[in-house]
Structures are given as structure tokens and as C-alpha cells.
């Protein structure tokens, strides 16, 4: 069953920095505020409405420092009107306090990671009290949460948070597929996850590595939103590095239009996501 929403509108997100990818893996990774802003603007031109943002110290190490994050957001704001979605996931091993620092910048959106999982050979810690604490802080910062689910049980946890009244709607899920240690990137998985969320909730897919293209294209056919970018995948084709996230966005946008989806601008995405700005 193809579940295209009445409008067929599609929000594209680019995850342009991440916490794990290094300059040794790809020279196209933006690190400074200027590089990040230029990449955000290129992605906007290619079709994104949302930039999922991590920042780095000058030597490339992942950081959640509010000063560095604020600098990147200010540089982005000078160039483009994208929605900035702050990562409160940070990097594995960071404390909750460290991860929450970016909320001092009151980003329009912020991720809420809905459970602990093995993350490659590390453990990405999201104990239930931390999820609740971050959720409250996200709302207090005036940010709209995006619910990052890497496992089926993470969807249940998000729904529980909503039932408890800690998480306020509208609910926007991101199904993150293919993390080694998390749920696989397969069509049956996407269909099942979508079947678990309430009517009116919105959803998107972010898939890792070689799964990025087929899974985001599947999401577009099924009526979901999609995230691409170097955080999740550095290759345009097997063995061919993407020259930044923008080429991945351009290809995703072209595919979206080819299946009848309308790629929306940030102003429309704000309305669809319940961002008041
Ligand atoms: N870097 C990952 C451990 C998020 O941005 O909210 C977590 C992550 C999730 O990237
Ligand atoms: Zn992230």
C-alpha cells in the first residue's frame, strides 16, 4: 500500500557534519562555521529544508559546546533560511549535560534519541531518565523534537513519553536504519515502523551507508520524509565519495520529484513540523 499524504509534500533533511566521520575518510566534511554555513546553503539550493547539525572543534573533534554551535548557527543564518535541527545525541561517550549544551542556543528543532543501543562497537547511552530530561529541556528551549528511533522499542518509548505528557506533539519520527547494532535497513522494517505510529504523526527515514539511497527512496514512495548527508553516508556511488552532502540532496530531490513528491522549502516545512518561528 502506498500511503502518500494528500499534499505529497516532502521535507528533505541534510545531516552535513555528524560526530563520527573524519577528514581522513572524506575531505568534503565541513568543520569550521564558515564551511558548515556554505554547505548548508548548498544543500538548501539543492532542496533541503532542515539541516541536522553537529559541530566540531577546530581539530575536528565532535563537540556540543554552545559557543561553537552558536557560531555555526549564526554563520548559517547569514547565508540561508534553513531550519537548524540541533543534535542532542552528540557523540558516544558524552554525558547528558554535555549533550544538552546546544539547547542554550534555542534551536528551532532538536533530536531526541529514544533509547540505548549498540552503536558499532560502542554503546550509545540513552537511559530512560536521560530521555525524559532531554525531552523536557528541548521543550523548555522552545525546540520541536524529532524522535530518533533506531529500534522498534524506541517507537514505543516515544509513545510512552507522549502518554506521560512529557513529550508534547506534534510527533515527528525519524527512523534511523542500518546502524550496526540497531534495526536493519529493509522495506518490511519501514512498513512495520510506520504502522506503529499514530495518525497525524509525521515520519522520515535516515539510513546508514549503502542503505541511504534505497531506504530514503522507499520512504519517499511510501509518503515519508527523508534525510541524507555525510553524517550517515559519504559515498555517492560505490567507491565514489560525495563532494559534500549537497550532491546527495540533489539526487534525493530529483528522485522525489520523479515519484510525484513536492520538495518543500523551509517556510513550508516550519508549518508542517509545527515550528512557530
Ligand atoms: N552520533 C551518534 C552517536 C543525534 O544526532 O541525535 C548520535 C547521533 C544522534 O548522531
Ligand atoms: Zn546526528
Residue nearest to atom 2 of ligand 1 (CA): 91
Please tell me the distance between residue 20's alpha carbon and the centre of ligand 1 in angstroms.
9
What pLDDT shows up at residue 6?
44
- Tell me: the pLDDT tens digits for 83-137? 999 999 999 999 999 999 999 999 999 999 999 999 999 999 999 999 999 999 9
* Mean pLDDT confidence for 194-211: 97
> Any residues with Cβ below 6 Å from ligand 1, and which?
19-20, 87-89, 91-92, 111, 113, 119, 124, 148
How many Å apart are CA 56 and CA 59, to the nearest integer?
7
Residue nearest to atom 4 of ligand 1 (CA): 89
pLDDT tops 90 at residue 1: no
Pick the ligand that lies closest to the CA of residue 230.
2
What pLDDT shows up at residue 7?
58
Pick the ligand that lies closest to the CA of residue 102.
1
Which residues neighbour 78 within 8 Å (Cβ) at sequence distance 6 or greater?
Answer: 37
- Tell me: the pLDDT tens digits for 211-227? 999 999 999 999 999 99
C-alpha closest to that of 175 among 135, 218, 132:
218
Beta strands in the chain (DSSP E): 9-10, 12-15, 50-53, 55-56, 62-63, 83-86, 109-113, 117-119, 122-124, 144-149, 172-177, 202-207, 225-228, 235-237, 240-241, 262-263
How many Å apart are CA 113 and CA 74, to the nearest integer?
25
Q: What is the mean pLDDT of the chain?
A: 97
How many Å apart are CA 106 and CA 96, to the nearest integer?
17
Reading the block at residue 139, the C-alpha cell is 521543550
113 Cα nearest atom in ligand 1 = 6
What pLDDT shows up at residue 116?
98
- Tell me: the pLDDT tens digits for 228-255? 999 999 999 999 999 999 999 999 999 9
Angle at 205 between CA 204 and CA 208, to 5 degrees: 155
Pick the ligand that lies closest to the CA of residue 88.
1
Residue nearest to atom 10 of ligand 1 (CA): 89
The helix/strand/coil state of 22 is coil
Reading the block at residue 19, the C-alpha cell is 560526530
b/e sequence 63-81, b meaning 16+ C-beta within 10 Å = bbebebbbbbbebbeebbe
pLDDT tops 60 at residue 3: no
* Lookup result for grid cell 559546546: 65
Q: Which of 2-6, 36-40, 176-180 has the lowest mean pLDDT?
A: 2-6
* Mean pLDDT confidence for 244-272: 98
What pLDDT shows up at residue 76?
99
Residue nearest to atom 1 of ligand 1 (CA): 91
Pick left, alpha or beta for residue 258 (phi over 0 → left; psi -120 to 50 → alpha; otherwise beta): alpha
Amino acid at each position: 500500500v502506498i500511503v502518500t499524504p494528500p499534499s505529497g509534500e516532502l521535507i528533505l533533511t541534510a545531516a552535513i557534519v555528524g560526530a563520527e566521520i573524519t577528514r581522513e575518510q572524506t575531505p568534503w566534511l565541513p568543520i569550521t562555521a564558515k564551511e558548515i554555513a556554505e554547505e548548508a546553503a548548498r544543500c538548501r539550493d539543492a532542496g533541503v529544508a532542515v539541516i541536522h547539525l553537529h559541530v566540531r572543534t577546530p581539530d575536528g573533534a565532535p563537540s556540543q559546546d554552545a559557543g561553537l554551535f552558536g557560531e555555526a548557527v549564526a554563520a548559517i543564518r547569514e547565508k540561508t533560511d534553513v531550519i537548524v535541527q540541533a543534535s542532542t545525541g552528540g557523540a558516544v561517550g558524552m554525558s547528558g549535560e554535555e549533550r544538552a549544551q546546544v539547547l542554550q542556543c534555542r534551536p528551532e528543532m532538536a533530536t531526541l534519541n529514544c533509547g540505548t543501543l549498540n552503536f558499532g562497537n560502542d554503546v550509545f547511552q540513552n537511559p530512560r531518565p536521560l530521555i525524559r530530561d532531554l525531552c523536557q529541556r528541548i521543550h523548555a528551549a522552545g525546540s520541536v523534537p524529532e524522535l530518533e528511533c533506531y529500534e522498534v522499542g524506541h517507537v514505543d518509548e516515544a509513545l510512552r513519553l507522549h502518554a506521560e505528557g512529557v513529550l508534547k506533539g506534534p510527533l515527528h519520527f525519524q527512523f534511523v536504519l542500518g546502524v550496526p547494532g540497531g534495526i536493519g535497513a529493509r522495506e518490511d522494517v519501514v512498513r512495520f515502523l510506520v504502522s506503529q505510529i499514530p495518525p497525524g504523526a509525521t515520519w522520515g527515514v535516515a539510513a546508514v551507508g549503502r542503505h541511504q539511497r534505497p531506504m530514503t527512496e522507499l520512504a519517499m514512495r511510501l509518503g515519508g520524509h527523508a534525510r541524507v548527508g555525510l553524517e550517515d553516508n559519504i559515498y555517492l556511488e560505490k567507491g565514489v565519495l560525495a563532494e559534500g552532502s549537497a550532491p546527495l540532496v540533489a539526487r534525493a530531490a530529483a528522485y522525489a520529484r520523479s515519484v510525484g513528491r513536492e520538495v518543500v522549502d523551509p517556510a513550508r516545512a516550519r508549518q508542517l513540523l509545527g515550528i512557530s518561528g
